[in-house]
Structure 1
């Protein structure tokens, strides 16, 4: 491997192509806004790249180069230079000022010269730095910078993590770095309006430079060019070729009023950076702020480093101390706990426990450290001393992810009760669109404190060379877990205060926190998997995949690598000459949307869609599920309460939400989920719950009447839209009506309906207009919901769950339209999520009250799955229907469909 780092004996100057990175970041990162609607995608990408460059390259000196009125000097040479470039996108312009604030906060010098580009500033400074004995690292993704590469100047692209040295240029392009300007002059640059020599592409340009060395020599020996047409084109474009070389050549002698000492690496203003990153909601970046660089000439630490919490935990090692701590918890009536464990909480043993009491005292209870010579609590002694207080619901429990805590404690025979201050869950309710609610981030933002790092094993990141958590000494981890308990304790009151102000506290107390122990019980119980049945299905699917491959080859006319996008593009667009619908960064796109549209013109795209579907199901479920079976023969999925913007539960390892419901293969996979001997699986599923909620929330009389009379809603809609009697509705009309019924709640557009049904957009528009004419209440709901969300900044479910909709005010029309669709859907889908959670609690309460042995196993979409002894099946079916249909008082009835059988497929 080639060493890409500069010599440590020489100072290192890092020059960052700021202007180039701003545009690169803007196009690389999808539209992104803060909860207040501030556009930040370019700011985030730019900041990530700068911090990564500083971290990776460890410079002693650094500068950012910006364009400033950058076209003017070159337009004196050629007035058309960059004349075809439009101004920056409308939603990028406000981000420039934010980027300048980031630069000021991270304390990096800025260089710019009026009339010249960042390229010229960097070129000039690179020459100056070399003369003063510096190694120069230019941070850029622009290939034009190759022209200044030499033994002292190297390039680094942080997005691709690629270094470029002189040998790399030769290997990649076949020319020397200094010949890059000649290469660029020959091939031109359409983006910058630099003319090329007609007929000369990259390959020919390289061959000419290898033969002649540079443009000037080429022109003086033009008669040696072998191809007459190329020779003629060069001769007739002599002046423009020479002018192009001037345009693409970096200026290296600008007048820069700067000394190298002015560019010495400065300390990051940590306080200012934290405040700005918090304002911009760059929570993951907060931990990337450099602390200590270990580089000569670099600062030892950042300014105004956040003060750690003053925590000196008491180590509890004797039985008497353990009893004393349990007594203190009972007397206080509250405790905050952070468990030390490794791996999945379902199967993990408690290594230790961080404890924080309301009076600020902290402790660490070591249970299973391998360390010798240190007094630890015996696990059985811990269970004996703490079971009563941890199982007492009157003692409030706090922490971060209390479900994980309850699962780990259950492995020591303790059933946690009294979950109250789960700061992850409370933070989620305040901002459900946030990607994660990590304790370190919440502490940094709300307590202005930096939590000490934990061993990789404690955070699910143990590598081959890392020690197991139990192999760490008590001293190495005690403070880390105790301080986390104290941080969670301090966070909870402010979170509750904000929840009360937003009228979300009841949602936390009455729904999310009571659901937590039920989800833990479901995860522990798991569902039995018949691996033999799954294996039989896998054999069938293997044959189906093989048959589908042959089908793809038949339609393509030859064999090719179906998984290779370039080969697929070649077959679709070059060989079959199908129309190019959209392009990606590397050429024509062949994504799912494109294939669906192309399938109307040729059978190959449809065959590829089917192949991909089969392959994905095979890899996701048939190949993976057997590897996830625990020793008890069951699959134990993990449910996540704080993961989706709508309030829906999600599941992982495995994700059971994505098994297709209505396909034959989906049913085959469900057939492998079975009940234990002497039991049956009982499925209780809400019927058309989102449409029923739409009728209630929109208060549409036609839709309400249809549900009150238990009509086939799709047939009724078809009759209304097409103006025919219900008994005259045909299959196609009902299909269209079904598409509209389910699509309207998702903001279905004429374009979307037309694409799904394969009809003209004006026909689709007419269908939607007729729908709204008959269902006027729904049109009113759509309009009023979006208008209200624009004014308040959020939408709500019937139970007050909020989702903030900052993107509604985006100046990017595509982003705003997506936000409108989400705003329309959230009250419906979010309320459906609330209903199924209320149903889970109601059914579980009824099962307990009737002292049944039936247990809830799974929640998937609008369905609950139970494992019931044969003797209880009919009772459970009736109980589920009664409980689930009565959890809400709506203008239309909640309909519940139930079934039972040996397998999930039989029950569904």
Structure 2
């Protein structure tokens, strides 16, 4: 049912701010800034308020807060909320930040000592109605139903639900005016409001439908049909009336404000941007209205001189010569679409002396003058390909791809501010140029054309050069200003070499890999899809047989009904909407009944089908190849990630995963060559922890899992059985991720006590690893960061969080980062080494994919043996460890054959 609209009248919007804070805290996962300041409640609160402002468009508004809120009601009943504990430790510092957010949003705050936000809102609602206003209360608290009527409605922004009288009647079976009596009958355990024993929601509604209100019911008590209910009401008459006092809003508070004074005022943009930047809410900053305030005089929002729009070859030559003479330039491309298949529309350029320009190339606007692509290539091609002229910008890999589409080469990448910022703080979610500019330079960049930011509007090519020149010129100039500051910070903490020697040289390699793509045999996918469809259908029928009924397997409520009501399986965990049916729960329940295991198998198969079989064929480009996008600035550990599509999550060890890889094929006359580090993270753990047992096992090329099983279970390696090796393998791969006894018990389906005993025996035999784990966490607490063998850092401010769950997650991350981060560095060094070797030997082989610890190449058949030897030699020698770096190499017509 959709709530009917309020009558045509001015509307006062009242936000239950105190309730928002706690809802936000529990709804948003633990979150903190790079300095360790907790912010999850602040972010959730801010998002709810902004959503309310956007959806409701209030003309008058106020936020109500609790203030010493228990005092007045505890005069009625000292037990009211008496058992409630104080707020969580990591929520306390967020209260002050929330107040700052409210101030920046320029919203009036009302509170009265001794009273709750409920009473403030009740008073304002009554007063507003008397003055001809309608009222919209923003809350998720059902207590507010008592003030709902034709002129007062509720809105829950988290559920996007509006509530009026009709919704109350449909949901509860009562009128809003009966809500106080309803609440007094059912009580509220959270607030210590007593209930009448034996009366629940349905009984309370039925009683109010019969009598209208509590007073009438008490006067006609003999008409209550059920003797037990009648007796309960009679014996709890006093607590019932006291409960009604507790739940009833005070609508007569003395508020020193008039309704017209609550007119909505505009957001203090400058203040909000500064605060959101400080809190690292970068997406929220970008959602704020465009800033029209005057920028700082020392940092103008646009370059001091207007951006020159280049319209002739002569002007382009002058610009090119100036860049060559200066030895550097900064470039920001204008484009819309996937870079490997998208034309370059134009180019924003900044020179070291601050001059800026925009070169229009593909603006399809009547009468526009632009530089022909052929002349652009002729004039600037040599400069762009000259490694002696340093190039800067933001995400230079994209620029390299766009230029590649014009058969131009970009060399000399030196000042990619996205990568430089990422190295300084890899845990940061985004390193967008407007955010960096706002944060570090104190300036707002001119807005891009709507379509360039993915919003509705004209295609980019339909904007004139004059419309976009200022935006792209300012971006190039912002990159120019940012680069020296970022380099200075990198130099100060010893990360500049990592940027110069690893990340920046990797840019052109990744661009070539994205441009090259990998060939996909869609016929294989078609066959696989048919097979998997049939298998899914078979599994579905089996599930229905086990359940004894047909139901929607994708519906969690229906699945919960089957598991917990029909099959009477134990409820192990509850979520917001009822008993949980997540993977961990189903794995546990599978020990008691075959249905949960069958559900897990079906889910796994369905996910692979939807993620790969149904999706990848549609992503094949005109050249018959899939072109993924690699991200260098996305993970906290330094690992590359892949998207559109993500080719790094295709399972290796399942039969279907291997069949999916069989669809990735080489061109005729070529083979795919796979080179994969063997157990690289365990080898790095042995090297870094210097554990003698682990070192010895790898130095003698033993089966590490059998050796570990022998150490844990006290048998010789030849006596290790399959189950013991499986346990050892799980422990080996889990230790570097801070595996807990609970985690191990879940993975192996054993008791926590047994898991704890296994881990203890492991650490007894591998004492060096225990020492490494403890020392790493302790050192990180002191320094505030962890680092890889090659100096890559990750800030670890959350180690000192007051929230235990957050601190424990940070401990696991601190343990893992030196291992996984070093593995990421190794594969990057390997890519650089192999690429250099391929170039040096003038081989036609190309690097196609990087997937975790594996590199995939496409080699002419005549080069396959050479490439296999070269890849093994380069990858095994990129670092000198105390154990050998082992590389598994294979080749074949498909990825599956090569792996």
TM range (shorter): over 0.9
- Residues 95-244 of structure 1 aligned to structure 2 (within 5 Å): 95-244=94-243
Which of 612, 626, 631 is equivalent to 1:621?
Answer: 612
Counterpart of 2:512?
Answer: 521
Change (3 A) 1:760 1:82: same
Alignment of 1:392-541 (within 5 A): 392-459=386-453, 461-463=454-456, 466-541=457-532
Correspondence 1:581-596 to 2 at 5 A: 581-596=572-587
Q: Is the 8 A contact 1:700 1:776 kept in 2?
A: yes
Q: Measure the CA separation in 1 of the matches of 2:92 and 2:501.
A: 45
Structure 1 position 801 matched with structure 2 position 762:
no
User: For 1:689-704, what aligned pairs fall within 5 Å after superposition?
Assistant: 689-704=680-695
5 Å matches for 1:706-855?
706-855=697-846
2:3–2:167 Cα contact (<8 Å) kept? no
SS of the aligned residue for 2:149 comes to coil
| 898-907 or 361-370, which deviates more | 361-370
Greater shift in the superposed pair: 87-96 or 173-182: 173-182
Checking the alignment, whether the CA contact within 8 Å between 1:290 and 1:302 is kept in structure 2 is no
Task: Give 1:309's match in structure 2, choosing from 274, 296, 302.
Answer: 302
Matched residues, number: 897
Change (3 A) 1:551 1:694: same
> Shift of the alpha carbon at 1:354?
1.2
1:253 aligns with 2:247: no
**Which residue of the partner structure matches residue 91 of structure 1?**
90
CA distance in 2, matches of 1:850, 1:149: 79
TM norm structure 2: 0.96
Matched, 1:640 2:639: no
1:866-885 pair list within 5 angstroms:
866-885=857-876
Moved more, 633-642 or 760-769: 760-769
Out of 579, 584, 597, the position equivalent to 2:570 is 579
Write the distance in 2 (CA, Å) between the matches of 1:176 and 1:449: 54
1:480–1:301 Cα change, 3 Å: closer
3-state SS of 2:14 partner: strand
Contact 1:63 1:263 in 2 (8 A): yes
CA distance in 2, matches of 1:702, 1:603: 41
1:79 shift after superposition: 2.4
Cα shift at 1:19: 0.8
> Partner residue of 2:25?
26
Question: How far apart in 2 are the matches of 1:268 and 1:431?
Answer: 30
| Contact kept? 1:30, 1:41, Cα under 8 Å | yes
Task: Give 1:352's aligned residue.
Answer: 346
Q: After superposition, what is the alpha-carbon deviation per residue over 1:244-302, rounded to whole angstroms, capped at 9, x for unaligned?
A: 2221111100122333465444454444433333332222222344569xxxxxxx979
Aligned to 1:900: 891
| Pairwise CA distance, 1:180 | 2.1
Q: CA deviation at 1:804?
A: 0.9
How many Å apart are 1:116 and its aligned residue?
Answer: 1.1
Q: Larger deviation: 316-325 or 398-407?
A: 316-325
TM-superposed CA distance for 1:174, in Å, is 4.0
- Which stretch has the larger CA shift, 222-231 or 12-21? 222-231
Question: Is the Cα–Cα contact under 8 Å of residues 3 and 163 in structure 2 kept in the other structure?
Answer: no
The equivalent residue for 1:296 is none
Distance 1:307 1:119, change over 3 A: farther
Contact 1:313-1:364 at 8 Å conserved across structures = yes
Contact 2:344 2:402 in 1 (8 A): yes
Deviation readout 1:528-565 (Å, 9 max, x if unpaired): 11111111111111111111112212222222111110
Structure 1 residue 233, shift from structure 2 partner: 3.8
Aligned partners of 1:153 and 1:201: how far apart in 2? Answer: 27
Mapped partners of 1:9, 1:594: distance in 2: 51
Partner of 2:14: 15
Whether contact under 8 Å (1:291, 1:302) holds in the other structure is: no
- Aligned-partner SS, 2:708: helix
CA contact (8 A) 1:268 1:302 kept: no
1:297 alignment counterpart:
none
What is the alpha-carbon distance in structure 2 between the residues aligned to residue 4 and residue 383 of structure 1?
62
**Secondary structure of residue in 1 paired with 2:494:** coil
Whether the 8 Å contact between 2:434 and 2:445 is mirrored in structure 1 is yes
For the 8 Å contact 1:795–1:826, the answer to whether it is kept is: yes
Q: Deviations over 1:747-797 (max 9, x none)?
A: 112222222222232222222222212211111100100000000111000
Q: Within the alignment, does 1:39 sit opposite 2:34 as a pair? A: no
Residues in 1 aligned to 2:137 and 2:296: alpha-carbon distance in whole angstroms: 30
Instruction: Give the root-mean-square deviation of aligned CA atoms.
Output: 2.2
SS of residue in 2 equivalent to 1:255: coil
Partner residue of 1:388?
382
- SS of the equivalent of 2:859 reads strand
1:289-329 Cα offsets, whole Å, 9 max, x none, are: 4569xxxxxxx979999962245211111222222222222
CA distance in 1, matches of 2:387, 2:786: 34
Query: Matched residue of 1:346: which SS?
Result: helix
- Which whole-Å CA distance do the structure 1 matches of 2:153 and 2:293 have between them? 28
Within the candidate set 358, 383, 390, 1:364 is matched to 358
The alpha-carbon deviation at position 224 of structure 1 amounts to 4.6
For residues 615 and 237 of structure 1, the distance between their equivalents in structure 2, rounded to whole angstroms, comes to 55
Superposed CA offset, 1:169-220 (max 9, x none): 3444443332222222232222112223334333333343344332223333
Local SS of the residue matching 1:287:
helix
Give the Cα–Cα distance (whole angstroms) in 1 for the partners of residues 308 and 3 of structure 2: 48
Q: Unaligned 5+ residue runs, structure 2?
A: none
Deviation, structure 1 residue 474: 2.3
